[in-house]
Amino acid sequence: MLRIRNLKCFYGRIQAVKGVSLSVEAGEMVTLIGANGSGKSTLLQSICGLMNGWQGDIRFEDRSLKGLDPPRIVRRGISLVPEGRQIFPPLSVRDNLDLGAYTLHRQGRKQEVRETLERVLTLFPVLRERARQAAGTLSGGEQQMLAIGRALMARPRLLLLDEPSMGLAPKLVSRILGTLVTLREEGLTILLVEQNARAALQVADRGYVFETGQVVLQGSAGELLEDEDVKRAYLGRDYGDFYDGKA
Amino acid sequence: MVRPSLHNLVPYAFFVVLVGSAGLWVDNPYYFQILSMIGIHALLALALNLLMGYAGQISLGHAAFYGIGAYASALLSARYGLSPWLALPCAMLAAGLVALVVGYPTLKLSGYYLGMGTLGIGMIVFIVFREWSSVTGGASGFVGIPPLGLGGRALLDVRSYYFLVWAVVLLALCGSQRLIRSRVGRALRSIHDSEAAARAVGIPTSRLKLQVFVLSAVMSAVAGFLYAHMVGFISPDTFSFIVSVKLVTMVVIGGMASIWGALLGAALLTLLPEVLHAFAEFEMVVYGLILMTVMIFLPQGLTRGILDIYALRRRQSERAARPAD
Protein backbone atom coordinates (compact mmCIF):
# COMPACT_ATOMS: atom_id res chain seq x y z
CA MET A 1 0.00 0.00 0.00
CA LEU A 2 2.80 2.37 1.00
CA ARG A 3 6.19 1.80 -0.58
CA ILE A 4 9.21 3.94 0.20
CA ARG A 5 12.41 3.43 -1.75
CA ASN A 6 15.77 4.96 -0.92
CA LEU A 7 14.33 8.04 0.81
CA LYS A 8 16.80 10.83 1.64
CA CYS A 9 15.83 13.99 3.54
CA PHE A 10 17.92 17.04 4.27
CA TYR A 11 17.66 19.96 6.67
CA GLY A 12 19.98 22.38 4.93
CA ARG A 13 23.24 20.42 4.75
CA ILE A 14 22.34 17.96 7.46
CA GLN A 15 20.99 14.66 6.23
CA ALA A 16 18.28 13.38 8.57
CA VAL A 17 17.19 10.33 6.59
CA LYS A 18 19.88 8.42 4.70
CA GLY A 19 18.39 6.15 2.10
CA VAL A 20 15.52 4.39 3.84
CA SER A 21 13.34 1.78 2.17
CA LEU A 22 10.25 0.35 3.79
CA SER A 23 6.77 -0.82 2.97
CA VAL A 24 3.39 -1.10 4.63
CA GLU A 25 0.85 -3.56 3.25
CA ALA A 26 -2.89 -2.95 3.36
CA GLY A 27 -4.42 -3.88 6.70
CA GLU A 28 -1.09 -3.98 8.52
CA MET A 29 0.08 -2.12 11.57
CA VAL A 30 3.75 -1.30 11.17
CA THR A 31 5.85 0.51 13.73
CA LEU A 32 9.04 2.54 13.39
CA ILE A 33 11.03 2.57 16.58
CA GLY A 34 14.24 4.32 17.42
CA ALA A 35 15.79 6.99 19.58
CA ASN A 36 15.20 10.72 19.48
CA GLY A 37 16.51 12.36 16.33
CA SER A 38 16.87 9.13 14.40
CA GLY A 39 14.77 10.52 11.53
CA LYS A 40 11.43 8.86 12.23
CA SER A 41 9.38 12.07 12.33
CA THR A 42 11.15 13.43 9.27
CA LEU A 43 10.10 10.33 7.38
CA LEU A 44 6.45 10.80 8.40
CA GLN A 45 6.57 14.45 7.40
CA SER A 46 7.93 13.53 4.00
CA ILE A 47 5.01 11.16 3.43
CA CYS A 48 2.51 13.91 4.38
CA GLY A 49 4.04 16.58 2.19
CA LEU A 50 5.13 18.67 5.17
CA MET A 51 8.80 18.25 4.29
CA ASN A 52 10.03 19.67 1.02
CA GLY A 53 12.87 18.52 -1.10
CA TRP A 54 13.19 14.86 -0.25
CA GLN A 55 14.80 12.49 -2.72
CA GLY A 56 13.87 8.94 -3.55
CA ASP A 57 10.46 7.47 -4.12
CA ILE A 58 7.32 7.39 -1.99
CA ARG A 59 4.38 5.58 -3.57
CA PHE A 60 0.93 5.22 -2.06
CA GLU A 61 -1.39 2.71 -3.75
CA ASP A 62 1.07 2.65 -6.66
CA ARG A 63 1.01 6.42 -7.26
CA SER A 64 3.92 8.68 -6.43
CA LEU A 65 3.44 11.33 -3.74
CA LYS A 66 6.28 13.45 -5.07
CA GLY A 67 5.50 17.16 -5.22
CA LEU A 68 2.03 16.89 -3.66
CA ASP A 69 1.02 19.41 -0.98
CA PRO A 70 -0.54 18.25 2.31
CA PRO A 71 -4.19 18.87 1.28
CA ARG A 72 -3.77 16.65 -1.80
CA ILE A 73 -2.12 13.92 0.22
CA VAL A 74 -4.98 14.00 2.73
CA ARG A 75 -7.37 13.63 -0.20
CA ARG A 76 -5.39 10.61 -1.42
CA GLY A 77 -6.26 8.92 1.89
CA ILE A 78 -3.35 9.55 4.27
CA SER A 79 -3.87 11.31 7.61
CA LEU A 80 -1.28 12.29 10.19
CA VAL A 81 -1.62 12.48 13.97
CA PRO A 82 1.24 14.92 14.53
CA GLU A 83 3.83 14.78 17.24
CA GLY A 84 2.75 16.61 20.38
CA ARG A 85 -0.90 16.32 19.29
CA GLN A 86 -1.10 19.82 17.77
CA ILE A 87 -4.78 20.31 18.42
CA PHE A 88 -6.27 23.83 18.25
CA PRO A 89 -6.68 24.74 21.95
CA PRO A 90 -9.05 27.75 21.74
CA LEU A 91 -11.42 26.02 19.32
CA SER A 92 -14.12 23.66 20.55
CA VAL A 93 -13.66 19.89 20.39
CA ARG A 94 -16.34 19.77 17.72
CA ASP A 95 -14.59 22.45 15.64
CA ASN A 96 -11.32 20.55 15.90
CA LEU A 97 -13.02 17.44 14.55
CA ASP A 98 -14.74 19.37 11.77
CA LEU A 99 -11.38 20.82 10.74
CA GLY A 100 -10.13 17.28 10.25
CA ALA A 101 -12.90 16.80 7.69
CA TYR A 102 -12.02 20.02 5.87
CA THR A 103 -11.38 18.31 2.55
CA LEU A 104 -14.61 16.30 2.77
CA HIS A 105 -16.62 19.41 3.63
CA ARG A 106 -15.08 21.11 0.65
CA GLN A 107 -16.24 18.37 -1.66
CA GLY A 108 -19.73 18.64 -0.14
CA ARG A 109 -19.65 15.10 1.24
CA LYS A 110 -21.88 16.06 4.18
CA GLN A 111 -23.41 12.63 4.76
CA GLU A 112 -19.98 11.02 5.03
CA VAL A 113 -18.85 13.70 7.48
CA ARG A 114 -21.86 12.99 9.69
CA GLU A 115 -21.22 9.25 9.61
CA THR A 116 -17.53 9.65 10.37
CA LEU A 117 -18.22 12.05 13.21
CA GLU A 118 -20.61 9.52 14.70
CA ARG A 119 -17.96 6.80 14.38
CA VAL A 120 -15.29 8.92 16.04
CA LEU A 121 -17.59 9.94 18.88
CA THR A 122 -18.49 6.29 19.44
CA LEU A 123 -14.82 5.37 19.48
CA PHE A 124 -14.04 8.16 21.97
CA PRO A 125 -17.24 8.81 24.00
CA VAL A 126 -15.44 11.41 26.11
CA LEU A 127 -15.21 13.66 23.04
CA ARG A 128 -18.99 13.59 22.73
CA GLU A 129 -19.37 14.72 26.33
CA ARG A 130 -16.94 17.57 25.78
CA ALA A 131 -17.92 18.50 22.24
CA ARG A 132 -18.57 22.15 23.09
CA GLN A 133 -15.61 22.63 25.41
CA ALA A 134 -12.44 24.37 24.26
CA ALA A 135 -9.96 21.66 23.23
CA GLY A 136 -7.27 23.22 25.42
CA THR A 137 -9.24 22.28 28.55
CA LEU A 138 -8.97 18.54 27.83
CA SER A 139 -6.49 16.32 29.67
CA GLY A 140 -3.42 15.01 27.85
CA GLY A 141 -5.00 11.65 27.09
CA GLU A 142 -8.20 13.27 25.86
CA GLN A 143 -6.21 15.62 23.65
CA GLN A 144 -4.47 12.63 22.10
CA MET A 145 -7.86 11.02 21.45
CA LEU A 146 -8.98 14.28 19.86
CA ALA A 147 -5.88 14.36 17.66
CA ILE A 148 -6.57 10.80 16.50
CA GLY A 149 -10.26 11.58 16.04
CA ARG A 150 -9.41 14.64 13.99
CA ALA A 151 -7.16 12.58 11.72
CA LEU A 152 -9.90 9.94 11.31
CA MET A 153 -12.37 12.64 10.25
CA ALA A 154 -10.67 12.79 6.86
CA ARG A 155 -11.57 9.09 6.35
CA PRO A 156 -7.99 7.95 5.73
CA ARG A 157 -7.02 4.52 4.45
CA LEU A 158 -3.55 4.95 5.95
CA LEU A 159 -3.15 6.53 9.39
CA LEU A 160 0.25 7.85 10.44
CA LEU A 161 0.91 8.48 14.12
CA ASP A 162 3.90 10.36 15.49
CA GLU A 163 4.59 9.35 19.09
CA PRO A 164 1.02 9.12 20.35
CA SER A 165 2.21 7.83 23.74
CA MET A 166 4.34 10.90 24.42
CA GLY A 167 3.76 12.32 27.89
CA LEU A 168 0.95 9.92 28.77
CA ALA A 169 0.58 7.70 31.82
CA PRO A 170 1.08 3.94 31.11
CA LYS A 171 -2.61 3.25 31.52
CA LEU A 172 -3.49 5.85 28.89
CA VAL A 173 -0.78 4.54 26.57
CA SER A 174 -2.41 1.12 26.52
CA ARG A 175 -5.82 2.74 26.05
CA ILE A 176 -4.58 4.68 23.01
CA LEU A 177 -2.70 1.73 21.52
CA GLY A 178 -5.73 -0.48 22.18
CA THR A 179 -7.77 1.92 20.07
CA LEU A 180 -5.27 1.48 17.25
CA VAL A 181 -5.74 -2.29 17.43
CA THR A 182 -9.51 -1.78 17.12
CA LEU A 183 -9.01 0.50 14.13
CA ARG A 184 -6.75 -2.01 12.43
CA GLU A 185 -9.31 -4.75 12.97
CA GLU A 186 -11.80 -2.49 11.17
CA GLY A 187 -9.42 -2.52 8.21
CA LEU A 188 -7.38 0.64 8.67
CA THR A 189 -3.69 0.49 7.76
CA ILE A 190 -1.45 2.07 10.39
CA LEU A 191 2.12 3.32 10.48
CA LEU A 192 3.10 4.04 14.07
CA VAL A 193 6.22 5.97 15.05
CA GLU A 194 7.15 5.37 18.66
CA GLN A 195 9.93 5.77 21.18
CA ASN A 196 8.06 3.49 23.53
CA ALA A 197 9.34 0.44 21.63
CA ARG A 198 7.94 -2.25 23.86
CA ALA A 199 4.40 -0.90 23.81
CA ALA A 200 4.53 -0.35 20.05
CA LEU A 201 5.90 -3.83 19.28
CA GLN A 202 3.24 -5.42 21.41
CA VAL A 203 0.44 -4.08 19.18
CA ALA A 204 2.16 -3.95 15.77
CA ASP A 205 2.54 -6.70 13.16
CA ARG A 206 5.96 -5.67 11.93
CA GLY A 207 8.62 -3.19 12.92
CA TYR A 208 11.58 -1.25 11.60
CA VAL A 209 14.36 -0.08 13.89
CA PHE A 210 15.80 3.35 13.06
CA GLU A 211 19.24 4.58 13.98
CA THR A 212 20.75 7.88 12.78
CA GLY A 213 18.60 8.05 9.71
CA GLN A 214 18.88 4.44 8.63
CA VAL A 215 16.94 1.23 9.08
CA VAL A 216 19.27 -1.05 11.02
CA LEU A 217 16.88 -3.86 11.67
CA GLN A 218 13.48 -5.06 10.55
CA GLY A 219 11.22 -8.00 11.17
CA SER A 220 7.99 -9.17 12.69
CA ALA A 221 7.08 -7.56 15.97
CA GLY A 222 7.62 -10.86 17.75
CA GLU A 223 11.13 -11.26 16.35
CA LEU A 224 12.10 -7.73 17.29
CA LEU A 225 10.78 -8.15 20.83
CA GLU A 226 13.13 -11.13 21.18
CA ASP A 227 16.12 -9.58 19.41
CA GLU A 228 19.09 -9.09 21.72
CA ASP A 229 20.19 -5.76 20.18
CA VAL A 230 16.69 -4.34 20.38
CA LYS A 231 16.35 -5.52 23.94
CA ARG A 232 19.59 -3.83 24.84
CA ALA A 233 19.01 -0.57 23.01
CA TYR A 234 15.29 0.00 23.29
CA LEU A 235 13.60 -2.35 25.71
CA GLY A 236 15.63 -1.27 28.69
CA ARG A 237 17.33 -4.53 29.51
CA ASP A 238 20.23 -4.02 31.85
CA TYR A 239 23.32 -2.85 30.02
CA GLY A 240 25.50 -4.65 32.53
CA ASP A 241 24.48 -8.07 31.19
CA PHE A 242 26.15 -7.29 27.88
CA TYR A 243 29.31 -5.83 29.30
CA ASP A 244 29.72 -8.98 31.30
CA GLY A 245 29.15 -11.12 28.21
CA LYS A 246 31.69 -9.20 26.13
CA ALA A 247 34.39 -9.07 28.75
CA MET B 1 -23.54 25.72 11.38
CA VAL B 2 -25.33 29.00 10.61
CA ARG B 3 -28.38 29.01 12.80
CA PRO B 4 -30.20 32.35 12.89
CA SER B 5 -31.34 32.08 16.49
CA LEU B 6 -32.95 34.89 18.45
CA HIS B 7 -29.72 35.33 20.36
CA ASN B 8 -27.89 36.21 17.16
CA LEU B 9 -30.58 38.51 15.83
CA VAL B 10 -30.75 40.78 18.88
CA PRO B 11 -27.54 42.69 18.15
CA TYR B 12 -28.59 43.14 14.52
CA ALA B 13 -31.99 44.47 15.54
CA PHE B 14 -30.31 46.85 17.98
CA PHE B 15 -27.90 47.94 15.26
CA VAL B 16 -30.65 48.61 12.70
CA VAL B 17 -32.77 50.54 15.20
CA LEU B 18 -29.78 52.63 16.30
CA VAL B 19 -28.64 53.46 12.77
CA GLY B 20 -32.20 54.08 11.63
CA SER B 21 -33.18 56.37 14.47
CA ALA B 22 -29.90 58.29 14.28
CA GLY B 23 -30.53 58.80 10.56
CA LEU B 24 -34.01 60.15 11.17
CA TRP B 25 -33.27 62.32 14.21
CA VAL B 26 -30.04 63.96 13.21
CA ASP B 27 -30.50 67.10 11.13
CA ASN B 28 -27.06 68.54 10.62
CA PRO B 29 -24.81 67.89 7.63
CA TYR B 30 -21.68 67.95 9.79
CA TYR B 31 -23.00 65.18 12.04
CA PHE B 32 -24.07 63.18 9.02
CA GLN B 33 -20.58 63.41 7.62
CA ILE B 34 -19.08 62.14 10.90
CA LEU B 35 -21.62 59.33 11.17
CA SER B 36 -20.90 58.29 7.58
CA MET B 37 -17.19 58.45 8.34
CA ILE B 38 -17.77 56.04 11.24
CA GLY B 39 -19.48 53.70 8.80
CA ILE B 40 -16.56 53.88 6.35
CA HIS B 41 -14.09 53.23 9.14
CA ALA B 42 -16.27 50.38 10.40
CA LEU B 43 -16.14 48.82 6.95
CA LEU B 44 -12.35 49.08 6.95
CA ALA B 45 -12.08 47.69 10.47
CA LEU B 46 -14.33 44.77 9.52
CA ALA B 47 -12.14 44.06 6.52
CA LEU B 48 -8.96 44.18 8.55
CA ASN B 49 -10.55 42.15 11.35
CA LEU B 50 -11.20 39.24 8.99
CA LEU B 51 -7.50 39.18 8.16
CA MET B 52 -6.07 40.07 11.57
CA GLY B 53 -8.62 39.01 14.15
CA TYR B 54 -9.63 35.74 12.55
CA ALA B 55 -6.82 34.56 10.29
CA GLY B 56 -4.16 36.11 12.54
CA GLN B 57 -2.29 37.84 9.71
CA ILE B 58 -1.32 41.40 10.50
CA SER B 59 -1.40 44.11 7.85
CA LEU B 60 0.21 47.48 8.47
CA GLY B 61 -0.56 48.66 4.97
CA HIS B 62 -4.29 48.37 4.64
CA ALA B 63 -4.75 52.06 3.88
CA ALA B 64 -3.18 51.19 0.50
CA PHE B 65 -6.25 49.22 -0.58
CA TYR B 66 -8.55 51.90 0.83
CA GLY B 67 -6.61 54.37 -1.32
CA ILE B 68 -6.60 52.19 -4.43
CA GLY B 69 -10.39 51.94 -4.19
CA ALA B 70 -10.73 55.71 -3.80
CA TYR B 71 -8.28 56.67 -6.54
CA ALA B 72 -9.49 54.07 -9.03
CA SER B 73 -13.08 55.15 -8.64
CA ALA B 74 -12.16 58.85 -8.69
CA LEU B 75 -10.07 58.49 -11.84
CA LEU B 76 -12.61 56.45 -13.77
CA SER B 77 -15.56 58.66 -12.89
CA ALA B 78 -13.96 62.12 -12.95
CA ARG B 79 -11.47 61.73 -15.80
CA TYR B 80 -13.08 59.11 -17.99
CA GLY B 81 -16.70 60.00 -17.27
CA LEU B 82 -17.64 56.50 -16.20
CA SER B 83 -20.67 56.21 -13.93
CA PRO B 84 -19.43 55.82 -10.33
CA TRP B 85 -21.56 52.69 -10.06
CA LEU B 86 -19.57 51.16 -12.89
CA ALA B 87 -16.33 52.49 -11.45
CA LEU B 88 -17.01 50.64 -8.19
CA PRO B 89 -16.55 47.10 -9.55
CA CYS B 90 -13.43 48.29 -11.42
CA ALA B 91 -12.03 49.75 -8.18
CA MET B 92 -12.77 46.50 -6.33
CA LEU B 93 -11.11 44.52 -9.09
CA ALA B 94 -8.04 46.78 -9.03
CA ALA B 95 -7.59 46.43 -5.27
CA GLY B 96 -8.19 42.69 -5.49
CA LEU B 97 -5.59 42.26 -8.22
CA VAL B 98 -2.98 44.31 -6.36
CA ALA B 99 -3.70 42.29 -3.22
CA LEU B 100 -3.32 39.07 -5.16
CA VAL B 101 0.01 40.08 -6.67
CA VAL B 102 1.58 41.51 -3.51
CA GLY B 103 -0.10 39.03 -1.18
CA TYR B 104 1.33 35.98 -2.89
CA PRO B 105 4.94 36.62 -1.84
CA THR B 106 4.16 38.65 1.30
CA LEU B 107 1.87 36.16 3.01
CA LYS B 108 4.68 33.61 3.07
CA LEU B 109 6.01 35.77 5.89
CA SER B 110 4.64 35.66 9.38
CA GLY B 111 4.68 37.69 12.58
CA TYR B 112 6.88 40.80 12.59
CA TYR B 113 8.10 40.06 9.09
CA LEU B 114 4.60 40.11 7.68
CA GLY B 115 4.08 43.40 9.52
CA MET B 116 7.18 44.84 7.85
CA GLY B 117 6.21 43.47 4.45
CA THR B 118 2.73 44.96 4.51
CA LEU B 119 4.14 48.20 5.88
CA GLY B 120 6.32 48.33 2.76
CA ILE B 121 3.30 47.84 0.49
CA GLY B 122 1.51 50.70 2.23
CA MET B 123 4.51 52.97 1.79
CA ILE B 124 4.97 52.16 -1.90
CA VAL B 125 1.32 52.74 -2.74
CA PHE B 126 1.35 55.99 -0.77
CA ILE B 127 4.40 57.21 -2.69
CA VAL B 128 2.76 56.29 -5.99
CA PHE B 129 -0.30 58.38 -5.03
CA ARG B 130 1.91 61.33 -4.12
CA GLU B 131 4.46 61.25 -6.91
CA TRP B 132 2.48 60.15 -9.95
CA SER B 133 1.01 63.66 -10.23
CA SER B 134 -0.12 63.42 -13.85
CA VAL B 135 -2.61 60.73 -12.87
CA THR B 136 -3.34 61.18 -9.18
CA GLY B 137 -2.91 64.91 -8.82
CA GLY B 138 0.10 64.40 -6.57
CA ALA B 139 0.40 65.79 -3.08
CA SER B 140 -2.21 68.48 -3.67
CA GLY B 141 -4.84 65.84 -4.26
CA PHE B 142 -7.51 64.90 -6.74
CA VAL B 143 -10.47 67.24 -7.08
CA GLY B 144 -13.84 67.12 -8.79
CA ILE B 145 -14.94 63.60 -7.94
CA PRO B 146 -18.61 63.39 -8.91
CA PRO B 147 -21.12 62.70 -6.13
CA LEU B 148 -23.28 59.62 -6.27
CA GLY B 149 -26.75 59.60 -7.77
CA LEU B 150 -29.39 56.93 -7.81
CA GLY B 151 -31.03 55.93 -11.06
CA GLY B 152 -29.35 58.80 -12.87
CA ARG B 153 -31.67 61.30 -11.24
CA ALA B 154 -31.30 63.11 -7.95
CA LEU B 155 -27.91 63.20 -6.30
CA LEU B 156 -27.80 61.66 -2.87
CA ASP B 157 -28.16 64.18 -0.04
CA VAL B 158 -26.19 63.71 3.17
CA ARG B 159 -28.96 61.74 4.84
CA SER B 160 -29.33 59.27 1.97
CA TYR B 161 -25.57 58.96 1.76
CA TYR B 162 -25.50 58.11 5.45
CA PHE B 163 -28.08 55.37 4.89
CA LEU B 164 -26.17 54.08 1.87
CA VAL B 165 -22.92 53.80 3.87
CA TRP B 166 -24.57 52.02 6.76
CA ALA B 167 -26.49 49.66 4.47
CA VAL B 168 -23.11 48.60 3.07
CA VAL B 169 -21.79 48.18 6.62
CA LEU B 170 -24.79 46.01 7.52
CA LEU B 171 -24.14 43.89 4.44
CA ALA B 172 -20.47 43.53 5.38
CA LEU B 173 -21.42 42.62 8.96
CA CYS B 174 -23.79 39.85 7.86
CA GLY B 175 -21.31 38.62 5.27
CA SER B 176 -18.43 38.56 7.74
CA GLN B 177 -20.48 36.70 10.31
CA ARG B 178 -21.58 34.09 7.79
CA LEU B 179 -18.02 33.60 6.63
CA ILE B 180 -16.66 33.28 10.16
CA ARG B 181 -19.21 30.66 11.14
CA SER B 182 -18.62 28.64 8.01
CA ARG B 183 -16.13 25.87 7.34
CA VAL B 184 -13.76 28.47 5.90
CA GLY B 185 -14.03 30.63 9.03
CA ARG B 186 -13.16 27.65 11.17
CA ALA B 187 -10.14 26.95 9.00
CA LEU B 188 -9.04 30.61 9.30
CA ARG B 189 -9.20 30.40 13.07
CA SER B 190 -7.15 27.22 12.96
CA ILE B 191 -4.47 29.06 10.95
CA HIS B 192 -4.49 31.80 13.59
CA ASP B 193 -3.96 29.18 16.26
CA SER B 194 -1.26 27.07 14.62
CA GLU B 195 -0.44 27.22 10.96
CA ALA B 196 1.72 24.09 11.19
CA ALA B 197 -1.08 22.04 12.71
CA ALA B 198 -3.56 23.38 10.16
CA ARG B 199 -1.24 22.26 7.37
CA ALA B 200 -0.84 18.83 8.93
CA VAL B 201 -4.62 18.40 8.94
CA GLY B 202 -4.70 19.15 5.23
CA ILE B 203 -6.00 22.70 5.27
CA PRO B 204 -4.65 24.68 2.29
CA THR B 205 -3.26 27.44 4.50
CA SER B 206 -1.43 29.50 1.87
CA ARG B 207 -4.42 29.65 -0.42
CA LEU B 208 -6.84 30.55 2.38
CA LYS B 209 -4.59 33.33 3.65
CA LEU B 210 -4.32 34.78 0.16
CA GLN B 211 -8.08 34.56 -0.36
CA VAL B 212 -8.90 36.35 2.89
CA PHE B 213 -6.26 38.99 2.11
CA VAL B 214 -7.86 39.67 -1.27
CA LEU B 215 -11.35 39.74 0.24
CA SER B 216 -10.16 42.17 2.88
CA ALA B 217 -8.57 44.40 0.22
CA VAL B 218 -11.74 44.41 -1.86
CA MET B 219 -13.85 45.42 1.15
CA SER B 220 -11.38 48.22 1.85
CA ALA B 221 -11.70 49.39 -1.75
CA VAL B 222 -15.46 49.69 -1.27
CA ALA B 223 -14.76 51.93 1.73
CA GLY B 224 -12.42 53.99 -0.47
CA PHE B 225 -15.15 54.35 -3.08
CA LEU B 226 -17.66 55.53 -0.46
CA TYR B 227 -15.15 58.02 0.93
CA ALA B 228 -14.11 59.49 -2.42
CA HIS B 229 -17.65 60.16 -3.62
CA MET B 230 -18.78 61.50 -0.27
CA VAL B 231 -16.01 64.07 0.15
CA GLY B 232 -15.41 64.77 -3.54
CA PHE B 233 -11.71 65.30 -2.95
CA ILE B 234 -8.92 62.88 -2.06
CA SER B 235 -5.26 63.35 -1.27
CA PRO B 236 -2.49 60.89 -0.43
CA ASP B 237 -2.52 61.80 3.28
CA THR B 238 -5.90 60.12 3.75
CA PHE B 239 -4.23 56.82 2.85
CA SER B 240 -0.91 57.19 4.64
CA PHE B 241 0.87 54.87 7.04
CA ILE B 242 -0.76 56.63 10.00
CA VAL B 243 -4.17 55.63 8.69
CA SER B 244 -3.08 51.99 8.42
CA VAL B 245 -1.96 52.11 12.04
CA LYS B 246 -5.25 53.72 13.03
CA LEU B 247 -7.13 50.86 11.40
CA VAL B 248 -5.07 48.32 13.32
CA THR B 249 -5.81 50.30 16.51
CA MET B 250 -9.54 50.20 15.78
CA VAL B 251 -9.47 46.43 15.49
CA VAL B 252 -7.36 45.98 18.62
CA ILE B 253 -9.27 48.50 20.76
CA GLY B 254 -12.63 47.13 19.68
CA GLY B 255 -11.53 43.56 20.29
CA MET B 256 -9.86 41.17 17.87
CA ALA B 257 -11.94 38.44 16.33
CA SER B 258 -15.21 40.21 17.06
CA ILE B 259 -17.23 41.83 14.32
CA TRP B 260 -19.11 44.06 16.79
CA GLY B 261 -15.76 45.00 18.28
CA ALA B 262 -14.60 46.29 14.91
CA LEU B 263 -17.68 48.47 14.78
CA LEU B 264 -17.14 49.77 18.30
CA GLY B 265 -13.45 50.46 17.69
CA ALA B 266 -14.21 52.34 14.49
CA ALA B 267 -16.88 54.45 16.21
CA LEU B 268 -14.64 55.27 19.16
CA LEU B 269 -11.58 56.22 17.14
CA THR B 270 -13.61 58.34 14.72
CA LEU B 271 -15.54 60.16 17.43
CA LEU B 272 -12.70 60.73 19.88
CA PRO B 273 -10.83 63.37 17.85
CA GLU B 274 -14.10 65.23 17.28
CA VAL B 275 -14.95 65.23 20.98
CA LEU B 276 -11.41 66.06 22.00
CA HIS B 277 -11.27 69.26 19.91
CA ALA B 278 -12.06 71.00 23.20
CA PHE B 279 -8.59 70.10 24.47
CA ALA B 280 -7.02 72.04 21.60
CA GLU B 281 -3.27 71.39 21.51
CA PHE B 282 -3.58 68.64 24.13
CA GLU B 283 -5.93 66.71 21.86
CA MET B 284 -3.41 64.04 20.85
CA VAL B 285 -2.17 63.64 24.42
CA VAL B 286 -5.64 62.91 25.73
CA TYR B 287 -6.31 60.67 22.74
CA GLY B 288 -3.19 58.64 23.46
CA LEU B 289 -4.01 58.44 27.17
CA ILE B 290 -7.47 57.05 26.46
CA LEU B 291 -6.07 54.38 24.15
CA MET B 292 -3.43 53.43 26.72
CA THR B 293 -6.01 53.18 29.49
CA VAL B 294 -8.21 50.90 27.42
CA MET B 295 -5.29 48.65 26.53
CA ILE B 296 -4.01 48.45 30.11
CA PHE B 297 -7.34 47.68 31.73
CA LEU B 298 -9.10 45.88 28.88
CA PRO B 299 -6.26 44.20 26.98
CA GLN B 300 -8.72 41.96 25.14
CA GLY B 301 -10.40 45.03 23.69
CA LEU B 302 -13.65 46.79 24.49
CA THR B 303 -16.16 44.09 23.55
CA ARG B 304 -14.47 41.28 25.47
CA GLY B 305 -13.69 43.63 28.36
CA ILE B 306 -17.25 44.92 28.68
CA LEU B 307 -18.65 41.39 28.51
CA ASP B 308 -16.21 40.27 31.22
CA ILE B 309 -17.15 43.18 33.49
CA TYR B 310 -20.82 42.42 32.93
CA ALA B 311 -20.30 38.74 33.85
CA LEU B 312 -18.32 39.73 36.95
CA ARG B 313 -21.03 42.17 38.11
CA ARG B 314 -23.68 39.53 37.68
CA ARG B 315 -21.74 37.00 39.70
CA GLN B 316 -21.21 39.60 42.43
CA SER B 317 -24.86 40.58 42.59
CA GLU B 318 -25.87 36.91 42.68
CA ARG B 319 -23.54 36.39 45.58
CA ALA B 320 -24.93 39.46 47.34
CA ALA B 321 -28.50 38.29 46.77
CA ARG B 322 -27.80 34.94 48.37
CA PRO B 323 -28.75 35.05 52.08
CA ALA B 324 -25.69 34.91 54.30
CA ASP B 325 -25.68 32.05 56.74
ipTM metric: 0.80
Looking at residue B1, what is its pLDDT?
43
What local confidence, expressed as pLDDT, does residue B255 receive? 83
pLDDT tens for residues B133-152?
988 988 888 988 888 877 65
Number of helices (H) and strands (E) in chain B: give both, helices first: 14, 2
For chain B, the domain total comes to 1
Which residues touch B265 (CB under 8 Å, ≥6 apart)?
Answer: B45, B249, B250, B251, B252, B253, B254, B255, B301, B302
Taking contacts as CB-CB distances below 8 angstroms, the residues of chain A near B198 are 88, 99
- The predicted pLDDT at position B312 comes to 84
Strands A55-60 and A29-34 come out as unpaired
- Binning pLDDT at 50, 70 and 90, where does residue A212 land? confident
Q: Rounded mean pLDDT of chain B?
A: 88
Q: How many CB pairs under 8 A join A and B?
A: 60
How many Å apart are CA A156 and CA A104, to the nearest integer? 11
Q: Does any domain span residue B282?
A: no
Question: Who among A50, A74, A88 is closest to B190 (CB)?
Answer: A88
Split at pLDDT 50, 70, 90, the class of B59 is: very high
Cα angle B70, B72, B73; round to 5: 65
Which residues 95-154 in chain A show a CB within 8 A of chain B? 95, 98-100, 102-103, 105-106, 150-151, 154
**Measured between beta carbons, which residues in chain A are less than 8 angstroms from residue B204?**
69, 71
Supply the pLDDT for residue B2.
Answer: 45
Which domain does B108 fall in, by range?
Answer: 28-241
pLDDT at B299 over 80: no
| Domain-embedded: residue B56 | yes
Q: What is the DSSP letter of A39?
A: S
Question: Domain A20-246 adopts which CATH fold?
Answer: Rossmann fold (3.40.50)
**Contact call for B202 and A88, based on CB within 8 A:** no
Query: Residues near B217 by Cβ (< 8 Å), separated by ≥ 6?
Result: B47, B62, B65, B68, B95, B96, B98, B99, B103
Q: Is residue B285 part of a domain?
A: no
Q: Please tell me the distance from the alpha carbon of residue B77 to that of residue B145, in angstroms, as a whole number.
A: 7
**pLDDT above 70 (res B39):** yes
What are the domain boundaries of chain A? 20-246
Taking residue B153's Cβ as centre, other Cβ atoms within 10 Å add up to 6
Confidence of residue A247 (pLDDT cuts 50, 70, 90): very low
Q: ∠ at Cα B57 (B98, A53), nearest 5°? A: 85
Q: Is the pLDDT of residue A11 over 90?
A: no
Measured distance CA(B136)–CA(B75) in Å, rounded = 8
pLDDT tens figures, A35-46? 888 888 899 999
If you average pLDDT over residues A178-191, what whole number do you get?
A: 94
> Percent of chain A at pLDDT above 90?
62
Decide which of B1 and B122 is more confident.
Answer: B122
Whole-number pLDDT of residue A104: 84
Cα–Cα distance measured from residue A64 to residue B223, given in angstroms and rounded to the nearest whole number: 48
pLDDT, mean of residues A102-124: 89
Identify whether B108 is part of a domain: yes
Q: What is the mean pLDDT of residues B231-244?
A: 92
Report yes or no: B190 at the A interface, CB cutoff 8 Å.
yes
Q: Of residues A226 and B90, which shows the higher confidence score?
A: B90
